[in-house]
Structure 1
Amino acid sequence: MTARSAVADLTGRTPVDVQQLSGGDTAAAFAVSLDDGAVVFAKTAPESMPGAIAAEAASLRWLAEPGSVAVPEVLGHSERWLVTEHIAEAAPTAAAAEQLGRGLADLHAAGAPAFGAAPPDGPVDAWIGLAPMRNETAPDWPAFYATHRIEPYLRKAVDSGVLSTADGSVISQVCADIDRLAGPAEPPARLHGDLWSGNVHWGNDRAWLIDPAAHGGHRETDLAMLHLFGCPHLDRIVAAYEENRPLAEGWRDRIALHQLFPLLVHAVLFGTGYAAQAVRAARSALRIR
């Protein structure tokens, strides 16, 4: 199926022009112009990522539900295709960053049924970028994060030789000490789940959240992801977040802990450079020099 036929089938509208877009590493993406002058966004996931489109559609709807952040509207989806509204790109602004910070705090406060809970109608077996991510619930965040985030990718990294056994033992110590390292207990937050800077789309005088891997988790995880690769006006985002809903004391000291999962995912996907970063993050979380 082509982007043109997918948009026609899923929206009942008539495409007149299709432009392939550059961008993400998980899917082919297109801007599709319609006969009424509107433009929609269409993407398709490869067959090697079953459930990815369903997970993303459910994530977008769940994040949009509280009305606190800007999320593209889902216009239709099938097993292989997702169609949403198209958001024109614009330059990042401090005002948009502050709006995002306040909205992200409210999104997190909207909550989730449990740590690890998938969005309603979303699959348990979802994806974070190119990597499988299982949304399995747990009674508290430390148990969820150690068992369903760190440990599966730690095993893959060691088994593939990306991490040595000795380096793997450093990360295993984080899992053993997770109750001590996790900070004050908080209720499950409604997370974007893959909130690196590339998934913050600046447009229409505000920041939009795209490509989510949404689930119930700890709100510090989204903020740690924003810090992982940097983000325009990050200081404004964080300041506005804290003005709206202050974070627990010591949250900056826990950034490395929350970055450990995405770094392990990157290590498995892309190699030893990220493995070394993961070990450094583990040592930082454990306060080991």
Structure 2
Amino acid sequence: MSATMPATREPRSTPRTLAAASAAPHGATSTTTLPSVPSGPVDEAGTRRRILELVAADGPVSAAELAAELDLTGTAIRRHLDVLKGTAQIAVHESSTPAPARRGRPARRYVVTAQGQAALSHRYPELAAQALRFLAEVAGPGALEEFAERRVRDLENRHSAAVAAAGPDVQARAQALADGLARDGYAATARPGPGARAVQLCQGHCPVQQIATEFPQLCEAEAHAFSRLLGVHVQRLSTLAAGGHVCTTNIPITTPPAPVEGPNA
């Protein structure tokens, strides 16, 4: 008897359909057509993204259904699901409708959480940019500047007490501001500047980076807010929006000595 070689999977060139094997809680079985996933090595993050999209489109959905759709083993699909559960992007669906009596443990079915929906949302920056373009068109560039200034007032209100509590020392105030921005998710630090005459406020993350690339007024308004909070004139040296690897704001901590007047002054 000759040995039978396993068949080689060919990448599918046509979309496939995932249909939930059992009825959803509202009683209807959903069918969604999504692009196929080629077999072979794939990027792990890309696979998890596809799983998240499938759960969003067809949830509540089981691990077995996802594995069949993506040509993955049960072990592999459960590993990806564990990661998505660990990051709170999916959750086990708690049905209020009793499931039909079956032998064995019922299969878990997954749905996307609000955090998972946010991870799938990638059109918000473009929507915000469209809104700002419209604002500039109907109200003029001055309206953009006013919007940017109003936006940073919340930042000032949030951090003014902590910065004031740091006292009159500018370096201590800059550190308090950096700590507050770090808690906000800006990945901010305060670092000594050159010549011990300044401290540099560095922000490794900017939540409006994509939009600020087109609308630098957002960066300018933020720098104005820093200046008001710290009580000194600050200077932006680089921004993520302009292509820098970090947003850097130079904050003077000493006043340059006044020029010495000559005897004939």
- Structure with more contact order per residue of length (Cα contacts < 8 Å, sep ≥ 6): 1
Report the TM-score, using the length of structure 1 for normalisation.
0.27
Rg larger for: 2
Report the TM-score, using the length of structure 2 for normalisation.
0.29
